[in-house]
Amino acid sequence: MFAFIVSRVLQAVPVVLVVGLIAYAMFAFVGDPVTIMLGTDYTEAQRVALVKQLGLDQPFFVQYAKFMWAALHGEFGISYRLARPVTDLLAERMPATLELALTASVFALLIGVPMGVYTGIYRTAFSSRVFMIFSLIGVSLPTFLIGILLILVFSVWLQVLPSFGRGDVVRFPHWSTGFLTTGGLKALILPAVTLGLFQMTLIMRLVRAEMLEVLRSDYIKFARARGLGTRAINFGHALRNTLVPVITIAGLQIGGIIAFSIVTETVFQWPGMGLLFVQSVQVADVPVMAAYLVMISVLFVLINLVVDLLYYAVDPRLRVVR
Amino acid sequence: MSCDKGCVCYRHCYNEWGVLEMLRSVLAASLFSVGLGAALPASAATFRWANDGDANSMDPYTRNETFLLSFAQNIYDPLVRRNRELKVEPALAMSWEQPDPLTWRFHLRPDVKFHGGEAFTADDVVFSYQRATGPGSQINSNFSTVKEVKRVDDLTVDFITKAPNPILLQELTQWGIMSKAWCEAHNATQPADLTKVKEENFATRNANGTGPFILGTREPDRRTTLRNNPAWWDKPEHNLTEVTFNVISSANTRVAALLSGDVDMIYTVPPQDMDRIGHTQGLKLAVGPELRTIFFGFDQSRPELLKSDVKGKNPFQDIRVRQAFNMAVDAKAIQSRVMRNQSHPTGLMYGPGVNGYTEASDVRHKYDPDAAKKLLAEAGYPNGFGVTLDCPNDRYINDEAICQAVTNMLARIGMKITLNAQTRLQYFAQISNPGYNTSFYMLGWTPTTYDALNSFFNLAGTRNGVRGVFNDGGWSNKEFDDTLDQMAVETDAARRQQQIERASKIIHDEAAFIPLHQQTVVWAYRSNVELQQMADNWFPLRYVTVK
C-alpha cells in the first residue's frame, strides 16, 4: 500500500515537470509582457532595463530551470501586473474557487441523482421526457451562454439576484467565506448553477443509464419475487449498485470543475483563481500563469491518486500483488 | 426592455438610503464647517461604478497607464491639474513663475494635510520627484527635461530644466505627490521592485495622498472603495461620501450590472450595446471624442520590405506610393460603416484637445482612388503589389474591422494586402522596438502631455534611442527633426504654434503616415448621476454628483 502511494507520487514528478515545460514553452507565444508593462511613452533604455530586470533576456531553458527551482521552494515569483507575490494572489482567490466548486458539485449531485433515479424508473412518463430534454440543453449549451441567460432573467428582469461578484464575505486569517452572509449566498446561486449544470445533467444521464441496466438484472427480479417494496428495491438495491461509477465520475469532475471554472468566473466576475488566470493571460503575466498551471496539474495528480486508492479500497480484485 | 417593478423598488430603497446619508452629511457638514469653512454640498451619496480592468496598483508611479493614473488622482493630488476643459489649473501649487528660462518656481499651498495627517511641504515634492525618477518608476518620461528639483523653503520649490521647456506644466498634471514621511515609515521610498519575490511594497495596496478621496478597502481585481476626504483643501464639486469601484471584465455582465442597478456607471461600454443602453429609460450615454489618434505607418527605413512581394527595393520610400495609399483610404466611409459614426476623421497625428490642434490645419488627402491608381502606375506598380498589414485585434475600438476595410479600399487601387491581425501582446512585441518587424502597421497614440510635440517626437522623429521610439516605420526627415528641436525650447506660444503647423505640413506633404481618426469615448450611467466626461478618458470623481 505504502509502496503504491510512493510510486504514484514519483510518477507525478515528471508530469508536473512536463506541464511546467509546456506551459513555459507556450508563454513564448503568448506575447511580450514588457511592452504592456511599460505603457505608453518609454525609451529604449527603459525597455532594455526592464527586460534585464525580469530576466527575460536569458535563454529559455535557464528561465525554465530558475522557475522550477524557485517553485520547488514554494516561490512562484511576483506578478508582473499586480506587483504582489503569486502565492499570496492564489491563496487569496482559492477560497472563492473552492466554495464555488463545492456548491456546484453539491447542487449537481443533489439534483442530478434524484432526477436520474426518477427518469430511470419512470422512463416513459411525460415528466421524464421533459427532464431528458432539459438535460440535453444543459449538455449542449455553452457555459457562458447559460450564465448570461441566468443574469438576464434573474438580475436584469427580476432583479432578485446580483449580476456579478461574490457579495459580502466573512474573513478569517486564511480563508474568506460567502457561506455566512445572505449577500454571499445570493451571489453564489447563479454561478454555482451555471458551473454545476453540465455536471448535473451528466450525473443524471449516468444514473439513469445505470438504473436501466441494474433494473433489468436478475437480483432485482429476485428481490421483486421476494415481495420487497418498490422503495426498498429502487433505492436499497438498484441505486446503491449504480453509485460506484457515479462516485468515480463525480470525484473526477470536481477536478474539472475547479480547473474549468474559468469561464463561469469570467462571466460572473467571480474573484477566484480562474478569473485571475484569464486576467493574467491578457497581459502575459507569466509568473501567475505558470504557477496556476503547475498547481492545477498537481491537483489533477492528487485527485487521480485518491481515485486510484478508492478503487483499491472498493475492489478486492485490485489488491493482487503487483 | 425598459425598467420594471423591481427597478422602482430599487430606486425607492435608494432614496431612503439617500435621506439617511443626507442627514448624516448635514450633521457632518455642520460639525466640520466650523473648523474648515468649506461644507459639503447639501446632499451626499454613494456612487458605484465598474470598469473592465483594475487600476493595477495604488502606487501612482508603477505604471504609465491612463486608467491607473486617472484612478490614483482621486487620492493623490498633483501640483497642477486639469479642469473640465483639460486646461491646467493650480492644485497643490497655488502659483508659479519663471525667474529665468530654465527655472520654474512653484509656490505651494499652505495648510494642506495628507490623509494620514502629515503636513504637505516642499520636502514631499522633492521626495516625490526623486521617487518618480528613481528605480522602479515607469513615469520618469514626464521628467526627461528636468535636471533637478530644489527646495527653496517649506512652501517653495524650483524645477530646473536642462533646456527651456514651454510645456513643463503640461507634463506635471499626471504626477501625484506622495508623502515623504509616510513612504519612509513604510519602507516604500521606491515603487514595487519586481525582482523581489517575497515582500510586497506597502504602497501597492495602500495610499496616502492629499486628494479629494481617501482609500478605504482595496481588493485587487475585485473591489476598491474610497470615501470622501472632509479635510480636502479644495471646495468639493462632488457630493459623494462613498465610492465603490468594481472590476467586471466581461462586457455582457458589465452592461447587465448597469441595467439591473448593481452599479451606477460603467466606464467602458461595448459598442454593440450602445443602442440598447441609450434606449433604456433611466440610463444615459456620454459620448465624446478621445485624444487618441489612430493612424497607419509604413516601413520606410529598410532597403527591402520584410513582408512584401517587391524584392530589391522598398516601394514605401517612393512618395507617390505613400500618397496613393493616403488617397485610397476613405476615412468618412470608415466613420459611417465601421465606427457607427463614433469617430472623428482626421488628417493630423493629434486631435482636438491637444495643444497645437486647429481645425484649419486638420486636412486629409482628398479621397480619390482613380488618382491614387495613376500615382501607383507612375511609381511603377500599375498592378499594385503585395504587402502585409499588421494590425491589433484587441487594442483599439474595431481595430481589426478598420484594417479589413482599409484592405478592401486598397484593393480598389490594385493593392494585394494580406491582413495579419493579432492580439496586442503579440502585436506590439512584433512591430515595436527593437525589432520593428513590420512593413505596414496600425497604431494609436495619446500624447501624455496633451501637446503635439509628444506625438511628433515619439511617432515621427528620427529614431535615436530616445526620440522616435514608436516611429515603427523609421520615417526620417531632417527639416522635421529641426522643427521639433525648435519647438521643444520655444517659449513664445504663437511662434510655437507655427512650428507645430509646419511639422504637420511636412508630414502631410511627405505623406509620411495615414492619419485616420480619433475614436470616441463612451460612458454609460444612471440618469440620477452627473459627471464630466474628459477627452483624455480620465474619470475624475471630484466632478461626480448623485441626486
SS3 A69: helix
| Average pLDDT across chain A, whole number | 85
pLDDT for B467-485, tens place per residue?
Answer: 998 999 999 999 999 999 9
Find which of A162-166, B1-5, B211-215 is predicted with most confidence, using mean pLDDT. B211-215
* Count of Cβ atoms closer than 10 Å to residue B457 Cβ: 26
Distance CA B232, CA B474 (A): 48
* Over residues B37-47, mean pLDDT: 58
Specify the pLDDT at position B8: 32
Q: What's the confidence (pLDDT) of residue A40?
A: 64
Alpha-carbon distances, residue B14 vs A209, B21, B215, B259 (angstroms): 52, 10, 24, 15
Is the pLDDT reported for residue B47 higher than 80? yes
Mean pLDDT of B191-199: 71
Contact B249 A163 (CB under 8 A): no
B407-415 average pLDDT score? 95
Q: Is B153 on the interface with A (CB under 8 A)?
A: no
* Region A284-292 average pLDDT: 87
Tens-place pLDDT, residues B347-380: 999 998 899 999 999 999 999 999 999 999 999 9
Lowest mean pLDDT among A34-38, B186-190, B492-496: A34-38
Task: Give Cβ neighbours of residue A13 (< 8 Å, ≥ 6 apart).
Answer: none
Q: Which residues in B393-473 belong to E strands, given as ranges? A: 416-422, 440-445
Looking at residue A320, what is its pLDDT? 56
Rounded to a whole number, what is the distance in Å from the CA of A77 to chain B's nearest CA? Answer: 5
Residues of B in contact with A70 (CB under 8 A): 197
Q: Is the pLDDT of residue B25 over 70?
A: no
3-class DSSP string for B452-520: HHHHHHHHHCCCCCCCCCCCCCCCCCHHHHHHHHHHHHCCCHHHHHHHHHHHHHHHHHHCCEEEEEEEE
What are the φ/ψ torsions at residue B46 (nearest 5 degrees)? -100, 140
- Annotate B210-258 with DSSP letters as a single string: SSSEEEEEEETTTEEEEEE-TT-SSPPS--EEEEEEEE--SHHHHHHHH
CB contact under 8 A, B256 and A164: yes
What is the biggest distance separating any 2 CA atoms in chain B, rounded to whole angstroms? 81
Q: CB–CB of A32 and B53 under 8 A?
A: no
Model confidence pLDDT, tens digit, residues B335-346: 999 988 889 999
A88-282+308-318, which class in CATH? mainly alpha
Please state, in angstroms and rounded to a whole number, the distance separating the CA atoms of residues B203 and B108.
24
Average pLDDT value for residue range A267-272: 93
Return the pLDDT at A3. Answer: 80
The dihedral formed by the CA atoms of B240, B202, B425 and A258, expressed in degrees to the nearest 10:
-90
Confidence of residue B14 (pLDDT cuts 50, 70, 90): very low
Alpha-carbon separation of residue A320 from A2, A7, A312, B51, B191 (angstroms): 15, 16, 10, 60, 62
The nearest alpha carbon in chain A to B431 belongs to: A35
* pLDDT band, very low/low/confident/very high, at B34 (cuts 50, 70, 90): very low
Residue A321: partners with Cβ closer than 8 Å, 6 or more residues away: none
Distance to chain A for B292, nearest Cα, Å: 12
Residue of chain B minimizing CA distance to A155: B260
Output A29 or A115, whichever has higher pLDDT. Answer: A115
Are residues A99 and A179 in contact, defined by beta-carbon separation less than 8 angstroms?
A: yes
Based on the number of CB atoms within 10 Å of its own CB, is B295 exposed (0-12), middle (13-18) or buried (19 or more)? buried
Residue B150's H or E segment, with its range, is: strand B146-153
Element containing residue B411 per DSSP (H, E): helix B399-411
Assigned C-alpha cell, A252: 473526477
- Contacts of B55-58 with CB under 8 Å at 24 or more apart are B55/B224, B55/B245, B56/A81, B56/A82, B56/A83, B56/B220, B57/A82, B57/A83, B57/B192, B57/B203, B57/B204, B58/B203, B58/B204, B58/B205, B58/B206, B58/B207, B58/B215, B58/B218
pLDDT on residue B528: 94
The runs of H, that is alpha helices, within chain A are 2-30, 33-38, 44-53, 60-72, 86-121, 126-140, 143-151, 182-215, 218-225, 230-231, 240-259, 262-267, 273-282, 286-314
Is A42's CB within 8 Å of B195's CB? no
Q: What is the pLDDT of residue B195?
A: 65
Q: Does B194 touch chain A (CB under 8 A)?
A: yes
Residues of B numbered 250-309 whose beta carbons fall under 8 angstroms of chain A's beta carbons: which are they? 250, 252-254, 256-257, 259-262
| Closest C-alpha to B180, from B236, B121, B133, B134 | B121
Residue A269: which of B248, B433, B458 has the nearest Cβ? B248
- A31 contacts in B (CB within 8 Å)? 423-429
Tell me whether B495 touches chain A (CB under 8 Å): no
The structural domains of chain B, with segments of one domain joined by +, span 4-264+528-546, 289-521
B21 neighbors B97 (Cβ within 8 angstroms): no
Which of A81, A83, A269 has its CB closest to that of B250?
A269
User: Which band of pLDDT confidence, cut at 50, 70 and 90, is reported for residue B32?
Assistant: very low
- Sequence-distant (6+) residues with CB within 8 A of B371 are B327
Total number of residues shown for chain B: 547
Decide which of 3.30.530.20, 3.40.50.2000, 3.10.20.590, 3.40.190.10 is the CATH code for B4-264+528-546: 3.40.190.10
Given B53, B59, B260, which is nearest A159 (Cβ)?
A: B260
Residue B159's pLDDT is 97
pTM: 0.83
Comparing CB atoms, the residue among A41, A84, A269 nearest residue B253 is A269
- Neighbour count for residue B435 (Cβ, 10 Å): 11
| Separation of alpha carbons B119 and B125, rounded Å | 12
Interface contact B378, partner A, CB < 8 A: no
Binned at pLDDT 50, 70 and 90, residue B197 comes out as: low
pLDDT of residue A148: 92
Q: Give the integer Cα–Cα distance in Å for B428 and B448.
A: 19
Query: Mean per-residue pLDDT for B184-205?
Result: 83
Residues in chain A: 322
Per DSSP, the residues of A190-244 read HHHHHHHHHHHHHHHHHHHHHHHHHHTSHHHHHHHHTT--HHIIIIIIIIHHHHH
Q: What are the phi and psi torsion angles at B418 (to 5°)?
A: -100, 120
- Compute the nearest-CA separation of B440 from chain A (Å): 19
- Complex-level ipTM: 0.82
Residue B145 pLDDT exceeds 80: yes
Residue B420 sits at φ, ψ, to 5 deg, of -120, 90
- Minimal CA separation from B59 to chain A, in Å: 10
Is there a contact between B260 and A282 if contact means CB atoms under 8 Å apart?
Answer: no
Residue B281: Cβ within 10 Å count: 9
Q: Give the separation between CA B237 and CA B157, rounded to whole angstroms.
A: 29
Contact map slice: B 216-245 vs A, CB within 8 A: 219-223
User: How is residue A154 written as a grid cell?
Assistant: 434573474
Q: pLDDT digit string (tens) for A27-68?
A: 767 777 887 777 666 777 778 888 887 888 888 888 888 888
Containing B284, the helix (H) or strand (E) segment is strand B283-298
In this prediction, residue B527 carries a pLDDT of 94
pLDDT at B21 over 60: no
Residue B385 has what pLDDT?
95
What 3-state DSSP class applies to B179? coil
Q: How far apart are CA A215 and CA A240, in angstroms?
A: 12
CATH number given to B289-521: 3.10.105.10
Q: Are B489 and B498 in contact (CB under 8 A)?
A: no
Distance CA A101, CA B150 (A): 58
B6 strand-pairing partners: none
Cell numbers at residue B87, please? 486646461
Q: What is the mean pLDDT of residues B498-510?
A: 96
Ordered by start, the domain boundaries in chain A are 88-282+308-318
Beta bridge pairs of residue B46 = B242
Check if the beta carbon of residue B191 is closer than 8 Å to that of residue B136. Answer: yes
Q: State the pLDDT at residue A174.
A: 82
Residues 13-72 of B with CB under 8 A from A: 50, 53, 56-57, 59, 62-65
The gap from C-alpha A67 to its chain's centroid, in whole angstroms, comes to 25
CB within 8 Å: B429 and A32? yes
Q: Are strands B93-100 and B265-266 parallel, antiparallel or unpaired?
A: unpaired
Please, which residues bridge with residue B287 across strands? B522
From chain A, the residues in CB contact with B249 under 8 A are 266, 269, 275, 278-279
Mean pLDDT, chain B, rounded, equals: 88
